[in-house]
A and B are shown apart, each in its own frame.
Chain A
Amino acid sequence: MVNFKILLAGKVNAGKTTFIKQISDFEPVTVDEMPTDINELKLKEGKATTVGLDYGAINVDEGITLHLFGTPGQERFDFVWEVLSKGALGVILLVDSTNEDSLNDADKLVEYYTNLKLPIIVGITKLESPNAKPLEYVLQKLSSIKNIIMPFNTFNKEEVKILLLTLLNLVMESTEGDIQTMQ
């Protein structure tokens, strides 16, 4: 039995839960609650937000499992990020193109996970939204990030797969020796 782990990171409402729903073999376990912060409440338009974590997985017959953990977006839960990052293969950081804060903080999150020595790629979400900033603007905001940046639609399974495979390829290429597994 071999267990790999990938983290889905990003600010509140960046699309992490939706990402996991698209690719998981089973209905993800989510721990969503109504936001308590007034700003979060506005962002989520009254919908539940993840305060603990999301969890999904992809299984292969030979006893191989890829676990997908969505981290809580709120910064005050950053100690959960660190806990979850242990044994992870890499991180997909989702940046919400409709949220200025998400764009502004992306480089900090990249730096955070880079410091944990985890391969990381960036996915830009919600570009299909009428509230999305122009792609040119988004890319300009993310210009300091040297990692792979890919626009994609979290509701499109094929695009989700591409993002996930991109990260896994990066893991394969960037890892010397054998790849670590989840403890």
Chain B
Amino acid sequence: MGNFNTNNFSILIKLQDSKESINILLGQKAVMHLSEGLIKKIDGNMSDTLHAILSRDTDIIVVSEAGTTQAPANLVETKDTENTLSFTMAHYLSLLTPAILSNINTDNLSLSFKDKLNYREYAYYLMHTDVMVSPILYQWLENKFKEAPAISISFSELVTQLYHLSHSADKDILLKTILILAGLGFININFNMQKNIAAPSPSVQIAEKTESTNVSSLPDKLSVALNIGDNFANGIYDMVLHCDNEYYNLNLTNIQDRAIAEIILKNILSSTNFISIQNTQTAKLDAQSALGIRLKLYAQIKKLPLELFENRFDGENYYYTFSIKDQNYLSNLPIYRTSGMDIIDITLLSLLRIKNYSLGDISIKISSHTLSEIRRAIFGLILLGLITAKREKAGPNIEVAFAEQQPTAAGTESNKSLLQKLMDKIKVK
């Protein structure tokens, strides 16, 4: 048994029957491989756990309530309500997507989906994960919504709906979710400044509205647009929220408009290192161009060696093909190996750490629009990856072992030393 690097500890989360609580299980099989001191306990409600997930300061393993030794299909299946199911999926997506993107070392990764997520599921997904780590899913979702008819919804109603969906998630998370939704251009926010956001502190106002607004049924689809930097003839509007064919203009010299703009930009910029800006001409902007900018920015900031080179719809399925440009991208990641039933316990951890496994082109079609189909497809990809990894790296009988992480330059040197290296590079650049 190798050592587990203290820089990469993990927690094991057990989804309980209760919709509003997640408890951490200690001492389970997978976790026993780690010393207890490395485990970050998150006791408390869903909100606390979501904060931990969103902050991404730890690796997380999620298992079903049945324990840690189930088959993959069971691992992601729950018999709970639709909401709990969605919650489960959201956790998995939050874990699996970055794992897939950052660990697969192959020339081409191709995913195709045929699905119609409803907004309820989509909101759950966004609420429980960092959408920025998921350009594939992001593009997938964007295309879904691009096809949908635009539907306007008032800001307060949107908050109310999300609050209703989330059960107990705190309002900061709700607000963040909404703003990310807007920033990504997935929803129209039809601000009524006088009515809904009259105070300079919109979050407070929103919270009050949330409690007092009646909940009505959600529309199936919401769509897009946040525009910053307008071209309006009189030139006083700095941010334009676009809702169908109507615009709400924000003038940043106005304190109320500015409060809204600030919240939107702060959330987009600080929480995601990512900004979604479209020309206000806007609406004329090809959505694909806007997406291209976002993906480009994303890839650069996150340093993903990822390049989208095909995006097509054949009338039935969407195909997104990414090229992994840098074959050595994962060269310093440690190896985690497993076998037998233990594979279930540490599947996710393995994906986060597995080294240099190679896949051929992968194409997954989902023939129905159920969550279980999606999960099955994702797990198929994971298992395929693991099987391939086993075949290529260690043969069929692999001992359960956590490999000691190979230290990277960035992990062992002081930042001053690293900055000096950077300066040396600039000198010869």
- Which A residues have a C-beta under 8 Å from some C-beta of B? 1-2, 4, 23, 26, 29, 31, 33-38, 41, 51-53, 55, 57-60, 62-67, 74, 76-77, 79-80, 83-84, 86, 89, 161, 164-165, 168-169, 171-172, 175, 178-181
By Cβ-Cβ distance, the 7 closest A-B pairs, closest first, are A51-B229, A36-B235, A62-B409, A33-B229, A76-B252, A179-B415, A63-B410
| CB neighbours of B297 from chain A (8 A) | 29, 55
The smallest C-beta distance from B117 to any residue of chain A, in angstroms, reads: 29
Instruction: Please report the C-alpha to C-alpha distance between residue A169 and residue B423 in the assembled complex, in whole angstroms.
Output: 9
User: Interface residue tally of chain B, by bracket?
Assistant: 35 or more
| CB neighbours of B300 from chain A (8 A) | 26, 29, 55, 57
Instruction: Please report the C-alpha to C-alpha distance between residue A89 and residue B418 in the assembled complex, in whole angstroms.
Output: 13
Interface of B (DSSP majority class): helix
Interface of A (DSSP majority class): mixed
Is the C-beta of B195 less than 8 angstroms from some C-beta in chain A?
A: no
Q: Is the CB of A52 within 8 A of B252?
A: no
| CB neighbours of B409 from chain A (8 A) | 62-64
Most buried by A among B235, B236, B266, B421: B235
Is the C-beta of B313 less than 8 angstroms from some C-beta in chain A?
A: no
Q: Is the CB of A33 within 8 A of B429?
A: no
| CB neighbours of B236 from chain A (8 A) | 36
Instruction: Please report the C-alpha to C-alpha distance between residue A53 and residue B297 in the assembled complex, in whole angstroms.
Output: 11
Most buried by B among A57, A79, A86, A165: A79
Known: A29-B300, A33-B280, A37-B235. A164 touches B426 (CB 8 A): yes
What are 11 of the A-B contact pairs (CB < 8 Å)? Answer: A1-B408, A31-B277, A35-B235, A51-B277, A63-B410, A64-B418, A66-B422, A164-B426, A168-B419, A168-B422, A178-B416
Q: Which residue of B lies closest to A28 (CB)?
A: B300
| CB neighbours of A86 from chain B (8 A) | 270
| CB neighbours of A35 from chain B (8 A) | 235
B234, B266, B415, B429: the one within 8 Å of A161 (CB):
B429
Is the C-beta of B246 less than 8 angstroms from some C-beta in chain A?
A: no
B280, B296, B418, B426: the one within 8 Å of A62 (CB):
B418
Q: Is the CB of A29 within 8 A of B235?
A: no
Q: Is the CB of B235 within 8 A of A38?
A: yes
The smallest C-beta distance from A84 to any residue of chain B, in angstroms, reads: 7
A52, A65, A171, A179: the one within 8 Å of B303 (CB):
A65
Q: Is the CB of A172 within 8 A of B416?
A: yes
| CB neighbours of B410 from chain A (8 A) | 1-2, 62-64
Interface residues in B390-412 by Cβ distance below 8 A to A read 408-410
Instruction: Please report the C-alpha to C-alpha distance between residue A63 and residue B425 in the assembled complex, in whole angstroms.
Output: 13
Is the C-beta of B43 less than 8 angstroms from some C-beta in chain A?
A: no
| CB neighbours of A31 from chain B (8 A) | 228-229, 275, 277, 293
Q: Is the CB of B416 within 8 A of A76?
A: no
| CB neighbours of A77 from chain B (8 A) | 238, 252
Instruction: Please report the C-alpha to C-alpha distance between residue A79 and residue B275 in the assembled complex, in whole angstroms.
Output: 14
Instruction: Please report the C-alpha to C-alpha distance between residue A182 and residue B300 in the assembled complex, in whole angstroms.
Output: 15
Mask of B251-266 contacts with A, CB within 8 angstroms, 1/0:
0110000100110011
